[in-house]
């Protein structure tokens, strides 16, 4: 299966679930916007069709724009919502074809279903996502700390933009 046809197959598979599809032909890349409750079904469709493998789960933080600051600095594919959100990308790969499932969850309902029942290897990725972004994954088999130290405070998620720890962010004098 060439990468081109692989992408077409994926497009067909995900049509019933997608809110929007964005195709980047030259990169063999397909971005599929999903609503969080469609995630499990969409992954199941891919899994049942044996399409590719889960390469990574990446989180991207989209804090609500602060009034008085230039809020339009970022955002290419997605437009800015009012509410602070975490965008979660499930990246599937098959050969050169890359399929990205994009989901947005607001801070207030930062919850996603697990995909570990379909893809067992997702457990480490899900644990990382929980720790780094504070996205609650329902039904994931292990919820222990994976990366952060044991004495790390609850409710502090290092990869959220608002979290400023140590001297990491410029401008902070701590």
Partner 1 sequence: MTNLKLDSNWQRILDKIRTWARVNSPWAIHFNSGSCNGCDIEILATLTPRYDVERFGIKLQGSPRHADVLICTGPVTLQARDRLIRIYEQMPEPKFVIAVGSCGLSGGVFHGCYNVVGSIDEVLPVNVYIPGCPPRPEAIIYGVVQLLNSLKSGVSKVGTVAELVEKQEA
Partner 2 sequence: METRKSSEKFVVPIGPQHPALKEPGHFEFTVDGEIVTGASVRLGYVHRGIEKGAEDRTWTQNIYLLERICGICSHVHATAYVLGVEKLAGVSAPPRAQAIRTVTAELERIHSHLLWLGVAAHEGGFDTLFMYSWRDRETVMDLLELISGNRVHYSTNVLGGVKYDLDTEKMDAIRRGLDFLEERTHHYMKVVTTDETFLARTRGVGLMTREQAEALGAVGPTARASSVRRDIRIDAPYAAYPDFPVKLITDDGGDLLARFVVRLKELFESYRVIRAILDQMPEGELTTRVPRRIPAGEVISRVEAPRGELFYYIKSNGGEKPERIKVRTPSLCNWGTVVSVAVGHKLADMPMLLAGIDPCFSCNDRMVRINRGQGAQFWSWENLRQYGIEYYR
Minimum separation from the CB atom of position 10 to partner 2 (A): 15
| Residue ranges binding partner 2 (CB under 8 A) | 3, 28-29, 53-56, 58-61, 73-77, 89, 91, 93, 95-96, 98, 100, 119-125, 132, 142, 144-149, 158-159, 163, 165, 168-170
95 binds, among partner 2, partner 1, none (CB under 5 to 8 A by kind): partner 2
Beta strands 97-106 and 85-94 are antiparallel
Dihedral sign for Cα 107, 79, 31, 160, please. negative
H-helix segments, 15-156 = 39-48, 122-133
Among residue numbers 153 through 172, which ones bind partner 1 (CB under 8 A)? 158, 165-168
75 binds, among partner 2, partner 1, none (CB under 5 to 8 A by kind): partner 2
173 near partner 1, rule: CB under 8 A? no
First to last CA, the chain: 54
58 binds, among partner 1, partner 2, none (CB under 5 to 8 A by kind): partner 2
By beta-carbon proximity to partner 1, the closer residue of 52 and 59 is 59
Report the Cα 102 to chain-centroid distance in Å: 6
Q: Which stretch binds partner 1 (CB under 8 A): 34-42, 89-97, 133-141, 144-152?
A: 144-152
151 binds, among partner 1, partner 2, none (CB under 5 to 8 A by kind): partner 1
Q: Which whole-number Å values give the CA distances from 43 to 10, 25, 54, 58, 118, in the listed order?
A: 11, 22, 9, 16, 8
Report the Cα 42 to chain-centroid distance in Å: 14
146 near partner 1, rule: CB under 8 A? no
What CA–CA distance (Å, rounded) separates 37 from 42?
10
């Amino acid at each position: 299966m060439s990468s081109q046809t692989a992408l077409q197959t994926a497009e067909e598979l995900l049509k019933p679930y997608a809110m929007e599809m964005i195709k980047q032909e030259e990169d063999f890349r397909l971005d599929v916007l999903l609503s969080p409750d469609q995630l499990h079904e969409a992954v199941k469709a891919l899994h049942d069709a044996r399409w590719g493998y889960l390469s990574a789960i990446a989180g991207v933080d989209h804090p609500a724009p602060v009034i008085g600051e230039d809020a339009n600095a970022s955002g290419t594919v997605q437009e800015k919502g009012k509410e602070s959100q975490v965008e979660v990308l499930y990246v599937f790969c098959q050969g050169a074809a890359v399929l990205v499932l994009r989901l947005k969850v607001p801070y207030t309902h930062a919850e996603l279903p697990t995909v570990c029942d379909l893809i067992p290897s997702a457990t480490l990725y899900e644990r990382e996502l929980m720790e780094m972004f504070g996205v609650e994954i329902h039904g994931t088999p292990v919820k222990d700390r994976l990366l952060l130290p044991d004495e790390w405070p609850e409710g502090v998620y290092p990869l959220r933009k608002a979290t400023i720890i140590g001297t990491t962010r410029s401008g902070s004098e701590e």
